[in-house]
Amino acid sequence: MISAIEQIGRFTLNTSSSVGGTLLFAARVFLRMFERRSYNSASIMVFINQIYFTSVQILPLFLFVAVIFGAMVNGMVFQLIKKIGQTDYLGRLLMGFVVTEISPFVTVLLVALRSSSAINAEIAVMKVNHELSTLEIFNIDLIDYLFVPRVLNGILSMVLLSSLFSLVVLSIGLFVSSVIFGTAADAYIDTLLRSASLLDMIILWFKCAAFGFFITLIPIMLGMNASQELTSIPVAVLNGMVKVFSAIIIIEVLSSIVRFI
Amino acid sequence: MRFFESEEELQEKLKDFITAHKSQMGLVSLEAPLISNLPVWSNIALIRQYHQNMSWHEAKATVDGLLHRMGMASIAEKRNPALTKEERFCAMLLRAAMVQDAVVVLDKPFGILTNLRDGHFLMHILHKVDDLIAEAHIFDYSWAKERYGVTADAED
Protein backbone atom coordinates (compact mmCIF):
# COMPACT_ATOMS: atom_id res chain seq x y z
CA MET A 1 0.00 0.00 0.00
CA ILE A 2 2.75 2.42 1.02
CA SER A 3 4.72 1.43 -2.06
CA ALA A 4 1.71 2.22 -4.26
CA ILE A 5 1.31 5.63 -2.62
CA GLU A 6 5.02 6.27 -3.10
CA GLN A 7 4.71 5.40 -6.76
CA ILE A 8 1.73 7.72 -7.20
CA GLY A 9 3.67 10.47 -5.41
CA ARG A 10 6.75 9.90 -7.54
CA PHE A 11 4.66 9.92 -10.72
CA THR A 12 2.92 13.13 -9.65
CA LEU A 13 6.21 14.82 -8.81
CA ASN A 14 7.82 13.73 -12.08
CA THR A 15 4.82 14.82 -14.13
CA SER A 16 4.48 18.21 -12.44
CA SER A 17 8.24 18.79 -12.72
CA SER A 18 8.14 17.87 -16.43
CA VAL A 19 5.12 20.11 -17.13
CA GLY A 20 6.65 22.93 -15.08
CA GLY A 21 9.96 22.62 -16.95
CA THR A 22 8.18 22.66 -20.31
CA LEU A 23 6.12 25.74 -19.41
CA LEU A 24 9.18 27.56 -18.08
CA PHE A 25 11.13 26.81 -21.25
CA ALA A 26 8.08 27.80 -23.32
CA ALA A 27 7.91 31.14 -21.49
CA ARG A 28 11.63 31.82 -22.14
CA VAL A 29 11.33 31.07 -25.86
CA PHE A 30 8.01 32.94 -26.15
CA LEU A 31 9.45 36.10 -24.58
CA ARG A 32 12.55 35.89 -26.76
CA MET A 33 10.32 35.87 -29.85
CA PHE A 34 9.52 39.53 -29.14
CA GLU A 35 13.12 40.67 -28.70
CA ARG A 36 14.79 42.52 -31.56
CA ARG A 37 18.16 40.78 -31.04
CA SER A 38 16.61 37.40 -31.87
CA TYR A 39 16.35 38.46 -35.50
CA ASN A 40 19.56 38.63 -37.52
CA SER A 41 20.72 37.43 -40.92
CA ALA A 42 21.65 33.98 -39.54
CA SER A 43 18.38 33.30 -37.70
CA ILE A 44 16.30 34.60 -40.63
CA MET A 45 18.14 32.15 -42.89
CA VAL A 46 17.30 29.32 -40.49
CA PHE A 47 13.66 30.46 -40.45
CA ILE A 48 13.44 30.46 -44.27
CA ASN A 49 15.02 26.99 -44.46
CA GLN A 50 12.64 25.68 -41.80
CA ILE A 51 9.62 27.09 -43.64
CA TYR A 52 10.84 25.30 -46.77
CA PHE A 53 11.31 21.98 -44.94
CA THR A 54 8.02 22.17 -43.02
CA SER A 55 5.57 23.92 -45.32
CA VAL A 56 6.87 23.47 -48.86
CA GLN A 57 8.39 19.99 -48.94
CA ILE A 58 5.29 18.53 -47.33
CA LEU A 59 2.91 19.98 -49.95
CA PRO A 60 2.52 16.98 -52.33
CA LEU A 61 1.69 14.61 -49.44
CA PHE A 62 -0.37 17.25 -47.68
CA LEU A 63 -2.50 18.10 -50.73
CA PHE A 64 -3.00 14.41 -51.48
CA VAL A 65 -4.25 13.78 -47.93
CA ALA A 66 -6.41 16.92 -48.03
CA VAL A 67 -8.08 15.87 -51.31
CA ILE A 68 -8.71 12.29 -50.15
CA PHE A 69 -9.91 13.43 -46.75
CA GLY A 70 -12.00 16.26 -48.22
CA ALA A 71 -13.71 13.91 -50.67
CA MET A 72 -14.43 11.41 -47.90
CA VAL A 73 -15.72 13.90 -45.33
CA ASN A 74 -17.76 15.90 -47.83
CA GLY A 75 -19.27 12.74 -49.28
CA MET A 76 -20.37 11.60 -45.80
CA VAL A 77 -21.59 15.03 -44.70
CA PHE A 78 -23.62 15.69 -47.83
CA GLN A 79 -25.16 12.21 -47.91
CA LEU A 80 -26.12 12.55 -44.24
CA ILE A 81 -27.58 16.04 -44.71
CA LYS A 82 -29.52 14.83 -47.73
CA LYS A 83 -30.89 11.79 -45.86
CA ILE A 84 -32.06 13.70 -42.80
CA GLY A 85 -33.17 16.67 -44.87
CA GLN A 86 -31.42 19.27 -42.67
CA THR A 87 -29.75 21.32 -45.41
CA ASP A 88 -29.82 24.41 -43.15
CA TYR A 89 -27.13 22.82 -41.04
CA LEU A 90 -24.75 22.24 -43.94
CA GLY A 91 -22.74 25.44 -43.44
CA ARG A 92 -22.59 25.03 -39.68
CA LEU A 93 -21.39 21.45 -40.04
CA LEU A 94 -18.69 22.35 -42.55
CA MET A 95 -17.46 25.47 -40.73
CA GLY A 96 -17.92 24.23 -37.18
CA PHE A 97 -16.67 20.71 -37.65
CA VAL A 98 -14.52 20.41 -40.74
CA VAL A 99 -12.79 23.82 -40.67
CA THR A 100 -12.37 24.40 -36.94
CA GLU A 101 -11.85 20.83 -35.73
CA ILE A 102 -10.79 18.42 -38.47
CA SER A 103 -8.46 20.67 -40.49
CA PRO A 104 -6.14 21.72 -37.63
CA PHE A 105 -6.14 18.21 -36.19
CA VAL A 106 -5.15 16.45 -39.42
CA THR A 107 -2.64 19.21 -40.17
CA VAL A 108 -0.99 18.99 -36.77
CA LEU A 109 -0.74 15.20 -37.05
CA LEU A 110 0.97 15.43 -40.45
CA VAL A 111 3.33 18.23 -39.38
CA ALA A 112 4.16 16.52 -36.08
CA LEU A 113 4.86 13.18 -37.75
CA ARG A 114 7.18 14.80 -40.27
CA SER A 115 8.74 17.89 -38.72
CA SER A 116 8.60 17.35 -34.95
CA SER A 117 10.42 14.04 -35.22
CA ALA A 118 13.00 15.62 -37.56
CA ILE A 119 13.58 18.57 -35.21
CA ASN A 120 13.86 16.25 -32.22
CA ALA A 121 16.46 14.04 -33.93
CA GLU A 122 18.33 17.05 -35.34
CA ILE A 123 18.75 18.75 -31.96
CA ALA A 124 19.67 15.47 -30.25
CA VAL A 125 22.32 14.75 -32.91
CA MET A 126 23.69 18.29 -32.53
CA LYS A 127 23.91 17.74 -28.77
CA VAL A 128 25.70 14.40 -29.13
CA ASN A 129 28.14 15.83 -31.72
CA HIS A 130 29.00 18.81 -29.45
CA GLU A 131 27.57 21.15 -32.11
CA LEU A 132 25.40 22.95 -29.55
CA SER A 133 28.42 23.61 -27.34
CA THR A 134 30.30 24.80 -30.45
CA LEU A 135 27.64 27.44 -31.03
CA GLU A 136 27.95 28.52 -27.39
CA ILE A 137 31.75 28.76 -27.70
CA PHE A 138 31.22 31.18 -30.60
CA ASN A 139 28.77 33.18 -28.43
CA ILE A 140 25.78 32.18 -30.55
CA ASP A 141 22.68 32.04 -28.40
CA LEU A 142 20.86 28.75 -28.96
CA ILE A 143 17.43 30.25 -28.33
CA ASP A 144 18.00 33.07 -30.85
CA TYR A 145 19.67 31.00 -33.55
CA LEU A 146 18.09 27.55 -33.27
CA PHE A 147 14.88 27.71 -31.27
CA VAL A 148 13.06 30.95 -32.13
CA PRO A 149 13.22 30.36 -35.93
CA ARG A 150 11.93 26.80 -35.52
CA VAL A 151 9.11 27.76 -33.18
CA LEU A 152 8.06 30.71 -35.38
CA ASN A 153 8.11 28.37 -38.36
CA GLY A 154 5.92 25.92 -36.44
CA ILE A 155 3.34 28.62 -35.68
CA LEU A 156 3.28 30.06 -39.20
CA SER A 157 3.29 26.66 -40.92
CA MET A 158 0.43 25.37 -38.80
CA VAL A 159 -1.75 28.42 -39.50
CA LEU A 160 -1.00 28.37 -43.24
CA LEU A 161 -1.26 24.61 -43.76
CA SER A 162 -4.45 24.36 -41.72
CA SER A 163 -5.97 27.17 -43.80
CA LEU A 164 -4.87 25.39 -46.99
CA PHE A 165 -6.41 22.14 -45.76
CA SER A 166 -9.71 23.93 -45.05
CA LEU A 167 -9.62 25.59 -48.45
CA VAL A 168 -9.11 22.26 -50.24
CA VAL A 169 -11.86 20.54 -48.23
CA LEU A 170 -14.32 23.40 -48.79
CA SER A 171 -13.48 23.50 -52.51
CA ILE A 172 -14.27 19.81 -52.75
CA GLY A 173 -17.46 20.61 -50.80
CA LEU A 174 -18.38 23.11 -53.50
CA PHE A 175 -17.96 20.44 -56.15
CA VAL A 176 -19.91 17.81 -54.17
CA SER A 177 -22.75 20.25 -53.32
CA SER A 178 -23.16 21.20 -56.96
CA VAL A 179 -23.30 17.50 -57.92
CA ILE A 180 -25.62 16.32 -55.09
CA PHE A 181 -27.78 19.40 -54.49
CA GLY A 182 -27.12 21.34 -57.67
CA THR A 183 -26.14 24.34 -55.53
CA ALA A 184 -24.60 27.39 -57.24
CA ALA A 185 -21.14 28.49 -56.13
CA ASP A 186 -22.28 31.86 -54.71
CA ALA A 187 -25.05 30.19 -52.70
CA TYR A 188 -22.58 27.67 -51.27
CA ILE A 189 -20.10 30.42 -50.32
CA ASP A 190 -22.94 32.49 -48.84
CA THR A 191 -24.01 29.50 -46.69
CA LEU A 192 -20.46 29.07 -45.42
CA LEU A 193 -19.99 32.77 -44.66
CA ARG A 194 -23.28 32.95 -42.76
CA SER A 195 -22.17 29.97 -40.67
CA ALA A 196 -18.73 31.39 -39.90
CA SER A 197 -18.37 32.82 -36.42
CA LEU A 198 -15.59 35.28 -35.60
CA LEU A 199 -15.05 33.70 -32.17
CA ASP A 200 -14.64 30.27 -33.77
CA MET A 201 -12.09 31.69 -36.19
CA ILE A 202 -10.13 33.38 -33.37
CA ILE A 203 -10.11 30.14 -31.37
CA LEU A 204 -9.04 28.28 -34.52
CA TRP A 205 -6.06 30.59 -35.13
CA PHE A 206 -5.03 30.44 -31.48
CA LYS A 207 -5.32 26.67 -31.54
CA CYS A 208 -3.19 26.40 -34.69
CA ALA A 209 -0.62 28.78 -33.19
CA ALA A 210 -0.54 26.77 -29.94
CA PHE A 211 -0.19 23.52 -31.89
CA GLY A 212 2.67 25.00 -33.93
CA PHE A 213 4.39 26.40 -30.85
CA PHE A 214 4.34 23.19 -28.83
CA ILE A 215 4.99 20.65 -31.59
CA THR A 216 8.28 22.44 -32.29
CA LEU A 217 9.18 23.50 -28.76
CA ILE A 218 8.79 20.07 -27.13
CA PRO A 219 11.03 18.24 -29.64
CA ILE A 220 13.67 20.97 -29.18
CA MET A 221 13.51 20.61 -25.41
CA LEU A 222 13.65 16.81 -25.46
CA GLY A 223 16.44 16.88 -28.06
CA MET A 224 18.43 19.10 -25.68
CA ASN A 225 17.95 16.47 -22.97
CA ALA A 226 19.95 13.90 -24.96
CA SER A 227 23.21 12.90 -23.29
CA GLN A 228 26.57 12.66 -25.09
CA GLU A 229 25.88 9.06 -26.13
CA LEU A 230 24.50 8.03 -29.53
CA THR A 231 22.05 5.66 -27.85
CA SER A 232 20.32 8.63 -26.21
CA ILE A 233 19.09 9.91 -29.63
CA PRO A 234 16.27 7.36 -30.18
CA VAL A 235 15.27 7.70 -26.52
CA ALA A 236 15.08 11.50 -26.89
CA VAL A 237 13.01 11.20 -30.09
CA LEU A 238 10.68 8.63 -28.54
CA ASN A 239 10.08 10.72 -25.40
CA GLY A 240 9.69 13.85 -27.50
CA MET A 241 7.05 12.36 -29.79
CA VAL A 242 5.06 10.94 -26.86
CA LYS A 243 5.04 14.40 -25.27
CA VAL A 244 4.14 16.06 -28.57
CA PHE A 245 1.07 13.86 -28.91
CA SER A 246 0.14 14.49 -25.28
CA ALA A 247 0.39 18.23 -25.96
CA ILE A 248 -1.79 17.89 -29.08
CA ILE A 249 -4.50 16.14 -27.07
CA ILE A 250 -4.31 18.69 -24.23
CA ILE A 251 -4.57 21.68 -26.63
CA GLU A 252 -7.45 20.00 -28.49
CA VAL A 253 -9.35 19.41 -25.26
CA LEU A 254 -8.66 22.93 -23.95
CA SER A 255 -9.80 24.55 -27.20
CA SER A 256 -13.01 22.47 -27.14
CA ILE A 257 -13.65 23.56 -23.56
CA VAL A 258 -13.19 27.22 -24.51
CA ARG A 259 -15.39 26.82 -27.58
CA PHE A 260 -18.28 24.85 -26.19
CA ILE A 261 -18.48 25.84 -22.53
CA MET B 1 52.49 27.84 -28.16
CA ARG B 2 51.58 26.28 -24.86
CA PHE B 3 52.54 22.74 -24.05
CA PHE B 4 51.21 20.61 -21.22
CA GLU B 5 52.17 17.33 -19.64
CA SER B 6 48.70 15.95 -19.10
CA GLU B 7 45.22 16.08 -20.61
CA GLU B 8 43.75 17.42 -17.35
CA GLU B 9 46.22 20.30 -17.18
CA LEU B 10 45.69 21.17 -20.84
CA GLN B 11 41.90 21.12 -20.50
CA GLU B 12 42.00 23.24 -17.36
CA LYS B 13 44.27 25.90 -18.91
CA LEU B 14 42.30 25.87 -22.13
CA LYS B 15 39.04 26.35 -20.24
CA ASP B 16 40.53 29.30 -18.33
CA PHE B 17 41.86 30.80 -21.54
CA ILE B 18 38.50 30.46 -23.30
CA THR B 19 36.75 32.10 -20.35
CA ALA B 20 39.26 34.98 -20.30
CA HIS B 21 38.83 35.67 -24.04
CA LYS B 22 35.18 34.69 -24.39
CA SER B 23 34.07 37.56 -26.63
CA GLN B 24 36.96 37.13 -29.11
CA MET B 25 37.33 33.38 -28.95
CA GLY B 26 37.87 31.54 -32.22
CA LEU B 27 38.39 27.92 -31.25
CA VAL B 28 39.73 25.30 -33.65
CA SER B 29 39.26 22.00 -31.90
CA LEU B 30 37.80 18.54 -32.24
CA GLU B 31 35.53 19.62 -29.39
CA ALA B 32 34.11 22.39 -31.60
CA PRO B 33 33.14 20.58 -34.83
CA LEU B 34 31.56 22.13 -37.90
CA ILE B 35 27.76 22.12 -37.85
CA SER B 36 26.96 18.97 -39.82
CA ASN B 37 23.72 20.14 -41.45
CA LEU B 38 25.31 23.28 -42.91
CA PRO B 39 27.65 23.55 -45.89
CA VAL B 40 31.18 24.82 -45.27
CA TRP B 41 30.45 28.36 -46.49
CA SER B 42 27.47 28.63 -44.17
CA ASN B 43 29.48 27.35 -41.19
CA ILE B 44 32.04 30.10 -41.78
CA ALA B 45 29.56 32.85 -42.70
CA LEU B 46 27.38 32.08 -39.67
CA ILE B 47 29.69 34.00 -37.30
CA ARG B 48 29.42 37.29 -39.16
CA GLN B 49 25.76 36.79 -40.05
CA TYR B 50 24.93 36.30 -36.40
CA HIS B 51 27.24 38.81 -34.70
CA GLN B 52 27.37 41.54 -37.33
CA ASN B 53 24.04 40.87 -39.04
CA MET B 54 25.88 40.64 -42.35
CA SER B 55 23.51 39.79 -45.22
CA TRP B 56 23.92 36.28 -46.57
CA HIS B 57 24.96 37.59 -50.02
CA GLU B 58 27.77 39.61 -48.47
CA ALA B 59 28.75 36.83 -46.09
CA LYS B 60 28.81 34.29 -48.93
CA ALA B 61 30.98 36.58 -51.06
CA THR B 62 33.39 37.09 -48.13
CA VAL B 63 33.65 33.37 -47.48
CA ASP B 64 34.07 32.54 -51.17
CA GLY B 65 36.96 35.02 -51.30
CA LEU B 66 38.62 33.48 -48.25
CA LEU B 67 38.21 29.92 -49.51
CA HIS B 68 39.70 31.02 -52.82
CA ARG B 69 42.64 32.55 -50.92
CA MET B 70 43.19 29.18 -49.20
CA GLY B 71 42.96 27.38 -52.55
CA MET B 72 39.84 25.57 -51.39
CA ALA B 73 37.03 27.24 -53.33
CA SER B 74 35.66 23.81 -54.26
CA ILE B 75 34.67 22.92 -50.69
CA ALA B 76 32.18 25.79 -50.25
CA GLU B 77 29.09 23.61 -50.72
CA LYS B 78 30.49 20.46 -49.07
CA ARG B 79 29.39 19.32 -45.64
CA ASN B 80 31.59 18.19 -42.78
CA PRO B 81 31.65 14.41 -43.44
CA ALA B 82 32.69 14.97 -47.07
CA LEU B 83 35.81 16.98 -46.17
CA THR B 84 39.41 15.77 -46.02
CA LYS B 85 41.33 16.48 -42.80
CA GLU B 86 43.10 19.51 -44.30
CA GLU B 87 39.86 20.88 -45.73
CA ARG B 88 38.11 20.43 -42.39
CA PHE B 89 40.94 22.17 -40.57
CA CYS B 90 40.87 25.10 -43.01
CA ALA B 91 37.11 25.45 -42.66
CA MET B 92 37.41 25.45 -38.86
CA LEU B 93 40.26 27.97 -38.98
CA LEU B 94 38.32 30.30 -41.28
CA ARG B 95 35.28 30.04 -39.03
CA ALA B 96 37.47 31.00 -36.05
CA ALA B 97 38.98 33.87 -38.04
CA MET B 98 35.53 35.30 -38.71
CA VAL B 99 35.23 36.39 -35.09
CA GLN B 100 35.95 40.12 -34.73
CA ASP B 101 39.54 40.69 -33.42
CA ALA B 102 39.78 36.92 -33.21
CA VAL B 103 41.91 35.24 -30.59
CA VAL B 104 42.34 31.96 -32.41
CA VAL B 105 43.13 28.89 -30.32
CA LEU B 106 44.30 25.73 -32.03
CA ASP B 107 43.54 22.97 -29.56
CA LYS B 108 45.74 19.95 -30.31
CA PRO B 109 45.69 20.64 -34.08
CA PHE B 110 47.37 17.32 -34.85
CA GLY B 111 44.27 15.68 -33.43
CA ILE B 112 42.43 17.09 -36.47
CA LEU B 113 45.34 16.79 -38.91
CA THR B 114 46.22 13.25 -37.89
CA ASN B 115 47.95 12.55 -41.21
CA LEU B 116 50.58 15.29 -40.80
CA ARG B 117 54.03 14.72 -39.29
CA ASP B 118 55.04 18.33 -38.68
CA GLY B 119 53.63 21.82 -38.39
CA HIS B 120 54.57 23.17 -41.85
CA PHE B 121 51.03 23.00 -43.21
CA LEU B 122 49.76 24.54 -39.99
CA MET B 123 52.10 27.52 -40.16
CA HIS B 124 51.54 27.93 -43.89
CA ILE B 125 47.77 28.05 -43.48
CA LEU B 126 47.99 30.38 -40.46
CA HIS B 127 50.08 32.86 -42.50
CA LYS B 128 47.32 32.97 -45.10
CA VAL B 129 44.81 34.33 -42.59
CA ASP B 130 47.10 36.38 -40.34
CA ASP B 131 45.44 39.62 -41.47
CA LEU B 132 42.13 38.36 -40.06
CA ILE B 133 43.24 37.37 -36.58
CA ALA B 134 44.52 39.35 -33.61
CA GLU B 135 46.30 36.49 -31.84
CA ALA B 136 46.90 32.80 -32.44
CA HIS B 137 47.64 30.31 -29.69
CA ILE B 138 48.41 26.62 -29.91
CA PHE B 139 47.58 24.31 -27.01
CA ASP B 140 49.15 20.88 -27.21
CA TYR B 141 50.98 18.18 -25.26
CA SER B 142 54.65 18.52 -24.38
CA TRP B 143 55.53 15.42 -26.35
CA ALA B 144 54.24 17.09 -29.52
CA LYS B 145 56.80 19.93 -29.32
CA GLU B 146 59.05 18.36 -31.94
CA ARG B 147 56.29 18.40 -34.49
CA TYR B 148 56.24 22.19 -34.23
CA GLY B 149 60.03 22.38 -34.41
CA VAL B 150 60.20 23.67 -30.81
CA THR B 151 63.09 22.52 -28.66
CA ALA B 152 63.16 25.02 -25.76
CA ASP B 153 60.88 24.53 -22.77
CA ALA B 154 59.75 28.13 -22.62
CA GLU B 155 56.32 29.02 -23.88
CA ASP B 156 56.22 31.25 -26.91
Question: 3.30.930.10, 3.40.50.720, 3.40.50.300, 3.30.230.10: which CATH number matches B2-148?
Answer: 3.40.50.300
**How close is the nearest chain B Cα to the Cα of A26, in Å?**
23
List, for residues B10-24, the tens digit of each pLDDT value: 888 889 988 888 889
Q: What is the ipTM of this complex?
A: 0.89
Total domains in chain A come to 1
B59 to chain A: nearest residue by CA?
Answer: A41
Residue A4: inside a domain? no
Residue A18: inside a domain? no
Q: Mapping DSSP to helix (H, G, I), strand (E, B) and coil, where does residue B58 land? A: helix
A93 inside 8 A of chain B by CB: no
Residue A122: inside a domain? yes
Q: Which of B36, B46, B50 lies at the smallest CB-CB distance from A129?
A: B36
pLDDT at B152: 56
Q: Which domain holds residue A162?
A: 37-260
CA-CA distance, A143 to B35, in Å (whole number)? 16
List, for residues A35-85, the tens digit of each pLDDT value: 988 899 999 999 999 999 999 999 999 999 999 988 888 888 888 887 887
**How close is the nearest chain B Cα to the Cα of A230, in Å?**
15
Of B139, B131, B69, residue with least CA distance to B101: B131
For residue B33, what are the contacts with CB-CB under 8 A and spacing of at least 6? A129, A130, A131, A134, B80, B92
Q: Which of B26, B49, B99 lies at the smallest CB-CB distance from A40?
A: B49
List, for residues B73-114, the tens digit of each pLDDT value: 999 999 999 999 999 999 999 999 999 989 999 998 888 888
Q: Which residues of B touch A139 (CB under 8 A)?
A: 22-23, 25, 51
For residue A192, what are the contacts with CB-CB under 8 A and spacing of at least 6? A91, A94, A95, A170
Number of DSSP helices (H) and strands (E) in chain A, helices first: 12, 0
